[in-house]
């Protein structure tokens, strides 16, 4: 039954006369037929959050129920797309209307005309279950799109054929358990607020390699893990998210620009299509999906963009891929929740955010993980989520930060002072943490080196000690420090400037392989160890600090990956130089 608008309050519309509708059902609102979702229901009165600007619609206008919850279309054609929060293809919309923001327009998320080459991988008569790979479509040169039997189906393949199909054409027939004939297609739909099922969740233990030294070596993330990146204005949240989208070693990237400034998103839209995947040399967009819901777009669609994004990520995970999802910024989503909740007259919780803020945020991060995918064969897939949070003034006691930290296992805390001093990435090494260091160090031992974990621990200890020593220096001056403590300050500076500091805009420095990260850190700590030994033998600290070879340590980051053997040579060179200083002392003695 069609309903009638009785009140419009910003993104919230109240309508009467809607019988037989359900919570979270989609509707079209007003004469403009704007997209909305029912978020409150009391008899025949519905509260609707509208995903488009409500200007110009008013009481008396109709509301049409669509009979289904907010769902996404899953199938070939998603990769490389730029969608809005409710999966409308923005480029196609712009071509059609000359404007991104025309209201009430619907265009299908997946191209209806385009034909895809489908190669069947199951046979007539075969029994299949949800998640089984029916066949494959080479969607881009970088990605094989695996066509899965939708999770809720099971039965016998009556017919299946390879060939060229649109997403709506029938590729085969399934006889389900009740004996019904079900047409199989390249696409299916899935409601965004429901997690797609998996066979089994596994503890995530494989590192997610980002090429960012402070992240990979100091506060590592794993495939299937979750990270929270809070930081004040201008501290580098967006750049970190971009770096991850470019460099993280996942097969698919979903990037959600949520409520951020349009120009930040423009950078993504202009820059990403030009980028090349460092591993395949193919355009990055051939494994990327962008969801753009900028600050000038309606607030209600922010939540939709987050759930649309995670559902698309789950779909690729189900194929057996490692997927990374970046959301920038989840604070803008939380603000949208606050606005809608306020307009609904709900009891406000902390800072005016709704009481369900924490559980809603958790329901998003809980969809991350490393899993055995549904289906008869054993496939592993994962979703890693990295959420940026922008608390006012960078205040970490902010409810959104706190709710996020409760569910995420990695905390990359960005610091305003570091950013001001142009130390990027401005990850504060004293407060950040990763709860994945244990499993990752296992991996390091087997794949990189026995002693990387130890080098990391020593470096962290030196940085801690630096903070204490700085307090002492402030009180009593540098003269009060022993040569050994002054060496520690020098080495700490080297860890910060030569290792942690990393320029995203420098062509070599922007990405460092795990092996190179290891060799860099080994050089710094080797210098520390050998210099300590020299001090113990009576060598003057000044003589050690004057060694011209130290300059080479500060240049390590600019050594291209193909030349990293030079870093091994540097270890021996420094050894020799410090040994010479010790020999010199012996000669005088
Ligand atoms: N890794 C980096 N390498 C070089 N420069 C960086 C790096 N990270 C940040 N910057 C510099 O800091 C500026 C601000 O970064 P960014 O836009 O990512 O901050 P933000 O935290 O997203 O800010 P906002 O709160 O405004 O969204 C960048 O334009 C860039 O100049
Ligand atoms: Mg930003």
pLDDT for residue 252 = 96
Co-location of 426 and 464 in the same domain:
no
Confidence band (pLDDT; 50, 70, 90) for 523? very high
Q: Is there a domain that residue 17 lies in?
A: yes
Co-location of 180 and 204 in the same domain:
no
Please give the distance, rounded to the nearest whole angstrom, from the Cα atom of residue 437 to the centre of ligand 2. Answer: 27
Residues 364 and 294 sit within 8 Å (Cβ to Cβ)? no
Q: Residue 345: CB partners within 8 Å, gap ≥ 6?
A: none
Co-location of 295 and 421 in the same domain:
yes
pLDDT for residue 49 = 93
Please give the distance, rounded to the nearest whole angstrom, from the Cα atom of residue 461 to the centre of ligand 2. Answer: 31
Between CA 42 and CA 287, with CA 190 as vertex, the angle to 5 degrees is: 135
For residue 25, the SS3 value is: strand
The CATH number given to whatever domain includes residue 240 is 3.40.50.300
**Gap between the Cα atoms of 534 and 547, Å rounded:** 13
pLDDT for residue 100 = 54
Q: Is there a domain that residue 96 lies in?
A: no
Residues 273 and 140 sit within 8 Å (Cβ to Cβ)? no
Across 526-530, average pLDDT: 97
Please give the distance, rounded to the nearest whole angstrom, from the Cα atom of residue 235 to the centre of ligand 1. Answer: 6
β-sheet bridge partners, residue 35: 28
Considering every ligand atom shown, identify the ligand nearest to the alpha carbon of residue 215 and give its number: 1
List b or e across 424-451, with b for residues whose CB sees 16 or more CB atoms inside 10 angstroms: bbbbbbeebebebbebbbebbeeebbeb
* Structure token digits, residue 89: 């293809």
The CATH number given to whatever domain includes residue 153 is 2.40.50.100
The pair phi, psi for residue 509, each rounded to 5°, is: -65, -25
pLDDT for residue 298 = 82
**Gap between the Cα atoms of 314 and 322, Å rounded:** 10
Q: Is there a domain that residue 311 lies in?
A: yes
pLDDT for residue 98 = 62
pLDDT for residue 420 = 96
User: Is residue 234 in contact with ligand 1, taking CB distance under 6 Å?
Assistant: yes
Co-location of 263 and 380 in the same domain:
yes
Across 200-212, average pLDDT: 96
Please give the distance, rounded to the nearest whole angstrom, from the Cα atom of residue 256 to the centre of ligand 2. Answer: 12
Co-location of 179 and 212 in the same domain:
no
The pLDDT of residue 136 is above 70:
yes
The CATH number given to whatever domain includes residue 558 is 1.10.1140.10
Q: Which of 93-97, 482-486, 532-536 has the lowest mean pLDDT?
A: 93-97
pLDDT for residue 300 = 85
Helix H segments across 248-371? Answer: 262-271, 300-318, 330-344, 357-365
Q: Residue 505: CB partners within 8 Å, gap ≥ 6?
A: none
584 sits in which H/E element = helix 565-588
Q: Residue 238: CB partners within 8 Å, gap ≥ 6?
A: 260, 264, 328, 388
Co-location of 407 and 526 in the same domain:
no
**Residue whose CA is closest, atom 8 of ligand 1?**
236
pLDDT for residue 102 = 65
The CATH number given to whatever domain includes residue 22 is 2.40.30.20
Co-location of 320 and 400 in the same domain:
yes
Q: Is there a domain that residue 78 lies in?
A: no
- Residue in 493, 499, 469, 492 with CA at minimum distance from that of residue 481: 469
Please give the distance, rounded to the nearest whole angstrom, from the Cα atom of residue 388 to the centre of ligand 1. Answer: 12
Q: Is there a domain that residue 104 lies in?
A: no
Q: Is there a domain that residue 194 lies in?
A: no
User: Could you list the residue range(s) of the whole structural domain that residue 140 is in?
Assistant: 114-186
Across 80-108, average pLDDT: 79
Co-location of 501 and 424 in the same domain:
no
pTM: 0.94
User: Is residue 241 in contact with ligand 1, taking CB distance under 6 Å?
Assistant: no
**Gap between the Cα atoms of 385 and 223, Å rounded:** 9
Q: Is there a domain that residue 80 lies in?
A: no
Co-location of 214 and 341 in the same domain:
yes
β-strand pairing of 45-50 with 12-16: antiparallel
Q: Is there a domain that residue 341 lies in?
A: yes
**Gap between the Cα atoms of 442 and 448, Å rounded:** 10
For residue 208, the SS3 value is: strand
Q: Helix crossing, 514-536 with 565-588: angle to 10°?
A: 0
Q: Residue 317: CB partners within 8 Å, gap ≥ 6?
A: 198, 323, 371, 373, 381, 382, 383
Given 153, 186, 219, the domain boundary residue is 186
Q: Residue 546, Cα to own-chain centre: how many angstroms?
A: 43
pLDDT for residue 227 = 98
pLDDT for residue 112 = 95
pLDDT for residue 294 = 79
pLDDT for residue 101 = 59
The pLDDT of residue 206 is above 80:
yes
User: Is residue 404 in contact with ligand 1, taking CB distance under 6 Å?
Assistant: no
Considering every ligand atom shown, identify the ligand nearest to the alpha carbon of residue 506 and give its number: 1
Residues 478 and 486 sit within 8 Å (Cβ to Cβ)? yes
- How many Å from the N-terminal Cα to the C-terminal Cα in the chain? 100
**Gap between the Cα atoms of 76 and 145, Å rounded:** 7
3-state secondary structure 34-54: EEEEEEEEECCEEEEEECCCC
β-sheet bridge partners, residue 135: 120, 147
Q: Residue 80: CB partners within 8 Å, gap ≥ 6?
A: 140, 285, 286, 288, 289
Sign of the Cα pseudo-torsion (517, 464, 435, 224, in order): negative
The pLDDT of residue 439 is above 90:
yes
pLDDT for residue 107 = 86
Across 147-157, average pLDDT: 96
- Residue in 65, 50, 63 with CA at minimum distance from that of residue 20: 65
| Structural domain total, the chain | 4
Given 407, 434, 461, the domain boundary residue is 434
pLDDT in tens, 217-276: 999 999 999 999 999 999 999 999 989 999 999 999 999 998 877 777 777 777 777 777
Mutate to test the pocket of ligand 1, among 246, 264, 390, 424 (most ligand atoms within 8 A of CB): 424
**Residue whose CA is closest, atom 12 of ligand 1?**
236
Q: Closest ligand 1 atom to the C-alpha of 239?
A: 18
Q: Residue 363: CB partners within 8 Å, gap ≥ 6?
A: none
Helix H segments across 436-549? Answer: 437-447, 452-476, 483-494, 514-536, 541-545
Co-location of 413 and 481 in the same domain:
no
Confidence band (pLDDT; 50, 70, 90) for 361? very high
Co-location of 147 and 14 in the same domain:
no
- Residue in 369, 436, 434, 364 with CA at minimum distance from that of residue 404: 364
Co-location of 410 and 482 in the same domain:
no
Given 132, 155, 186, the domain boundary residue is 186
């Amino acid at each position: 039954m069609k309903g009638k608008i009785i009140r419009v309050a910003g993104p919230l519309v109240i309508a009467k006369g809607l019988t037989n509708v359900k919570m979270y059902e989609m509707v079209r609102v007003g004469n403009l037929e704007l997209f909305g979702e029912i978020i409150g229901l009391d008899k025949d009165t519905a509260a609707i959050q509208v995903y488009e600007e409500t200007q110009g619609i008013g009481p008396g206008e109709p509301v049409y129920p669509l009979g289904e919850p907010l769902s996404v279309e899953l199938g070939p054609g998603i990769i490389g797309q730029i969608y809005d929060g409710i999966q409308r293809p923005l480029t196609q919309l712009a071509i059609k209307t000359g404007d991104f923001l025309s209201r009430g327009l619907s265009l299908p998320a997946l191209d209806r005309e385009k034909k895809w080459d489908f190669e069947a991988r199951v046979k007539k008569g075969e029994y299949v279950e949800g998640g089984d790979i029916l066949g494959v479509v080479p969607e881009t040169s970088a990605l094989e799109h695996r066509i899965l039997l939708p999770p809720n189906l099971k039965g016998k393949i009556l017919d299946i054929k390879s060939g060229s199909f649109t997403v709506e054409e029938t590729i085969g027939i399934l006889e389900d358990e009740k004996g019904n004939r079900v047409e199989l297609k390249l696409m299916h739909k899935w409601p965004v607020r429901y997690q797609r099922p998996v066979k089994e969740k596994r503890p995530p233990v494989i590192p997610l390699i980002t090429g960012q030294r402070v992240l990979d070596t100091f506060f590592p993330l794993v495939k299937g893990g979750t990270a929270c990146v809070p930081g004040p204005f201008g501290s580098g949240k967006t750049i970190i998210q971009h770096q991850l989208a470019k460099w993280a070693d996942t097969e698919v990237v979903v990037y959600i620009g949520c409520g951020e400034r349009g120009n930040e998103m423009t950078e993504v839209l202009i820059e990403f299509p030009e980028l090349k995947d460092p591993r395949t040399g193919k355009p990055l967009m051939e494994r990327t999906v962008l969801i753009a819901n900028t600050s000038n777009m309606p607030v209600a669609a922010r939540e939709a963009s987050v759930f649309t994004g995670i559902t698309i990520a789950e779909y690729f995970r189900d194929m057996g891929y490692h997927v990374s999802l970046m959301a920038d910024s989840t604070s803008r989503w939380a603000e949208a929740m606050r606005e809608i909740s306020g307009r609904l007259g709900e009891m406000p919780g902390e800072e005016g955010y709704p009481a369900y803020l924490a559980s809603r945020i958790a329901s998003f991060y809980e969809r991350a993980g490393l899993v055995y995918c549904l289906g008869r064969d054993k496939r592993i897939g994962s979703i890693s989520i990295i959420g940026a949070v922008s608390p006012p003034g960078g205040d970490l006691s902010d409810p959104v930060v706190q709710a996020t930290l409760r569910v995420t296992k990695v905390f990359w805390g960005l610091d305003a002072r570091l950013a001001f001093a142009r130390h990027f990435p401005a990850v504060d090494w004293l407060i950040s943490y990763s709860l994945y260091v244990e499993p990752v160090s296992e991996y390091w031992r087997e794949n990189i080196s026995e002693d990387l974990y130890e080098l990391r621990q020593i470096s962290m200890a030196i940085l801690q000690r630096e903070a204490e020593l700085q307090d002492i220096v402030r009180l009593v001056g540098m003269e009060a420090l022993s040569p050994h403590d002054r060496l520690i300050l020098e080495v700490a500076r080297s860890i910060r400037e030569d290792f942690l500091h990393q320029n995203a805009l420098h062509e070599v420095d922007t990405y460092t392989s795990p092996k190179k990260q290891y060799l860099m850190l080994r050089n710094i700590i080797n210098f520390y160890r050998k210099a300590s030994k020299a001090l113990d033998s009576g060598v003057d600290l000044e003589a050690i600090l004057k060694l011209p070879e130290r300059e080479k340590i500060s240049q390590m980051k600019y050594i291209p990956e193909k030349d990293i053997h030079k870093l091994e040579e540097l270890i021996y060179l420094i050894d020799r130089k410090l040994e010479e200083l010790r020999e010199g002392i012996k000669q005088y003695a």
